[in-house]
Structure 1
Amino acid sequence: MADSDEVARPQVSNRDLAEVHDQLVAWLAGRLPDGADPQISELSIPATNGMSSETLLFDASWTEDGAERTERCVVRMRPAAEAKPVFPTYDLDKQYRVMTLVGERCGIPVPKLLWNEPGEEALGAPFFVMRRADGAAPPDVMPYTIDSWLLKADAAEQRRLQEASVAIVADIHQIETTPDEIAFLQLEQPGDTPMRRHLNDLKAFYEWGMEGHPVPLLDRGFAWLEENFPEDTGDDVISWGDARIGNILYVDFTPTAVLDWEMAAVGPRELDLAWMVFIHDFFQDIATRYGGLPGIPNLLRREDVYGQYASLTGHTPKNTQYFEVYAAIRHGVVMARIAHRQAFFGERVMPENLDETVLHRTLIEAMLAGTYWDDLPAADAGTAEAPEAAE
């Protein structure tokens, strides 16, 4: 197996949860009608997914119109600056707005939003509260390719989950909006297209996150992305940003909630599609390379994801190699930043070779060498084609 500090769940908060509990009770009392007398359970942190925004779980009860009301709640809040956050900015209001928009415009199961608090007075940071949905996500730690309910499922169940997940991405991308309605999702970096702004935003994140200690492999990756930037990145849509099965809750392999919208932006369709494919490759590589295990090799294969998407939307994904490299570099920046957080919390020692902060470095090296796709079907080499008939 890989070193434990590479695959163990990093610490995500240094807040006093008892203090946050009392602050939440006081805040709820101010939001609810007089006499509501809100009570909440002890706060807990999700154990297997999510390492950027702080996520807390609790049950709340109060009196409303003479009746007792209860809610199973999730609070998402901006991490404290002194906790060395993963990302440089956390726009919780943007997340709340995009979840509202998506929930109103298409049928995917976005969690019910309960309250939005853009100020910092209550908890010291902006936050919002949503209803906790039933279901479970395939875990990140340990990866679902090593041990999980999804690994133990049969092929038909895995296929059902995959197809429902790809359909979610397709539904998001087919939401019709005006430029004004999604202006808040446009990234603020310079660039003449959303994809150029996306790349410049990723570069800015990298420069901030490495704190003056660049990762040579990622530098090479950014050079490749510039040299191979596509002439045509297609039409732009609402990009979920963190489109992966680990951000979806399922009951009986059917999605019940689509989570984690902090990376949402305007951009090409392939941003989400390649991210979904690559993140599974990443977890599959952990299982096979580091664990000597079979993983789930038939899940989220390129030809299946890209082909189903084309069948659902009429859009044939293109430049898929480029967007998969982009996903790998993007994930590499996140992993390297998480390594800085782990060192800050005393969970690891930073290596002399900073390439070692990127767990999937061998995958990136193969991509940059052009050998990563050697064993893939010809249709995957640059443009995926829709299947002749749906299975």
Structure 2
Amino acid sequence: MADSDAPARPQVSTRDLAEVHDRLVDWLATRLPDGADPQVSELSIPSTNGMSSETLLFDAAWTEEGETRTERCVVRMRPALDAKPVFPTYDLDKQYRVMSLVAERCGIPVPKLLWNEPGEEALGAPFFVMRRADGSAPPDVMPYTIDSWLQKADPADRARLQEASVAIIAAIHQIEHTAEDIAFLQLDQPGDTALRRHLNDLKAYYDWGMEGHPVPLLDRAFTWLEDNFPADAGPDVISWGDARIGNILYVDFAPTAVLDWEMAAVGPRELDLAWLVFIHDFFQDIASRYGGLPGIPDLLRREDVYARYAELTGHTPRNTNYFEVYSAVRHGVVMARIAHRQEHFGEREMPENLDETVLHRALIEAMLDGTFWDSLPVGSASAAPEASEAPEGSEDAGA
């Protein structure tokens, strides 16, 4: 691939941070006791992860009951409408609610939620504030497979991180809930199953995000997803949605915070498991394709992830190759949308071949023709006994 194709971080905000700072101080004064006199540090934007909801970091101090109280805070807010958002909608209230639900019923480390502001008057967009957790996430830019603390770590430490990360997904999926509890997470799309609604939601996002310029490769991929749609996708759970190690903070390879719940929904367990596996494949491909580097081949191998999840939950992942294709297509739509956003900000020109807007197009091509799993290192094929239940032509392991 040409150097011009190499991954670069797109612009993430068009807001005047000084103005946001002053409005945040005014708003905070309305949420604190009289005479609190809140002070807020200069706002900053994380430099290594995230391109959807805007994330701002700040320290706050105020007086409460005669004593000074301080908090290290994070603001999550809807992107400015003139910033050509990555997603068509940003339901910050939904994120706040699902984080509250998970924190209440699950032992995983969800950041402490401080305030929720569903209106737009204060900052021009809905937002919520949470306590900033200690720790570091494996970076997206540059990818952690190229040069990071995780890439330099001892294999035993990486194994500890992996085990803990899979355990987080397992714990989320085992949350006890009623249909009423999770009704707000059901996607508003037609379909008689959660997976059908999920796929229809992805199609709607694709139609919106491409702005009348479809990507031929993704069109073919959507046809494949329809042709190989599972007859039985298994039980539905609370799906984290963006289940990847880049959305977890770690200290000494142990999780300290589980972040980014904007893609949360109801769906099969394999949505999260395959996303965890595929996103690592994506970063491995970047390390190999752009840098000729080995990446981290011992991390998040599919057979390890699926086997560990089965041990923790008693559920053996099924139709795993289908859900890996689904993950690749889902990420491909995001990548293509980001390309439109980069064009909007003058950061790139759109290529004549719109397939080139999908950074991992070679992976999708190999998945569609069934050669992707054959090309994996020995021991890296999907390890799901239920693979024989996959729909005909799904190319799932063992089929």
Short-chain TM bin? over 0.9
Name the CA distance, whole Å, in 1 between partners of 2:77 and 2:339: 22
Aligned CA RMSD, in angstroms, stands at: 1.4
Name the CA distance, whole Å, in 2 between partners of 1:162 and 1:97: 27
Q: Residue 206 of structure 1 corresponds to which residue in structure 2?
A: 206
Q: Residue 266 of structure 1 corresponds to which residue in structure 2?
A: 266
Q: Residue 300 of structure 2 corresponds to which residue in structure 1?
A: 300
Q: Residue 360 of structure 2 corresponds to which residue in structure 1?
A: 360
Q: Residue 344 of structure 1 corresponds to which residue in structure 2?
A: 344
2:151 counterpart SS class:
helix
Q: Residue 332 of structure 1 corresponds to which residue in structure 2?
A: 332
Alignment of 1:1-391 (within 5 A): 3=3, 6-376=6-376, 380-381=381-382, 383=384
Name the CA distance, whole Å, in 2 between partners of 1:384 and 1:354: 37
Task: Note if contact 1:288-1:294 (Cα within 8 Å) is conserved in structure 2.
Answer: yes
Name the CA distance, whole Å, in 2 between partners of 1:365 and 1:9: 25
Name the CA distance, whole Å, in 2 between partners of 1:266 and 1:162: 24
Name the CA distance, whole Å, in 1 between partners of 2:48 and 2:91: 23
- Shift of residue 380, structure 1, vs aligned partner: 3.8
| Residues 245-297 of structure 1, C-alpha deviations (whole Å, 9 max, x = no match) | 00000000000000000000000000000000000000000001111001000
Task: Note if contact 1:307-1:385 (Cα within 8 Å) is conserved in structure 2.
Answer: no
- Shift of residue 8, structure 1, vs aligned partner: 1.1
Runs of 4+ in 1 over 6 A off after TM superposition: none
The amino acid of 1:175's aligned partner reads I
Task: Note if contact 2:302-2:383 (Cα within 8 Å) is conserved in structure 1.
Answer: no
Name the CA distance, whole Å, in 2 between partners of 1:89 and 1:369: 33
- Shift of residue 4, structure 1, vs aligned partner: 5.2
What percentage of residue pairs aligned between the two structures are identical?
83
Q: Where does structure 2 lack aligned partners over 5 or more consecutive residues?
A: 388-399
Name the CA distance, whole Å, in 2 between partners of 1:57 and 1:5: 31
| Residues 85-114 of structure 1, C-alpha deviations (whole Å, 9 max, x = no match) | 000000000000000000010100000000
Name the CA distance, whole Å, in 1 between partners of 2:380 and 2:255: 29
- Shift of residue 3, structure 1, vs aligned partner: 3.2
Aligned residues: 386
Name the CA distance, whole Å, in 2 between partners of 1:231 and 1:383: 16
TM-score using structure 1 length: 0.97
2:139 counterpart SS class:
coil
Task: Note if contact 1:71-1:131 (Cα within 8 Å) is conserved in structure 2.
Answer: yes
Q: Residue 389 of structure 1 corresponds to which residue in structure 2?
A: none
Task: Note if contact 1:303-1:384 (Cα within 8 Å) is conserved in structure 2.
Answer: no
1:175 counterpart SS class:
coil
The amino acid of 1:355's aligned partner reads D
TM-score using structure 2 length: 0.95
- Shift of residue 383, structure 1, vs aligned partner: 2.5
Q: Where does structure 1 lack aligned partners over 5 or more consecutive residues?
A: 387-391
Name the CA distance, whole Å, in 2 between partners of 1:379 and 1:285: 15
Q: Residue 393 of structure 2 corresponds to which residue in structure 1?
A: none
- Shift of residue 2, structure 1, vs aligned partner: 5.7
The alpha-carbon distance between structure 1 residues 364 and 148, as it changes in their structure 2 partners (threshold 3 A), is: same
Task: Note if contact 2:307-2:383 (Cα within 8 Å) is conserved in structure 1.
Answer: no
- Shift of residue 197, structure 1, vs aligned partner: 0.1
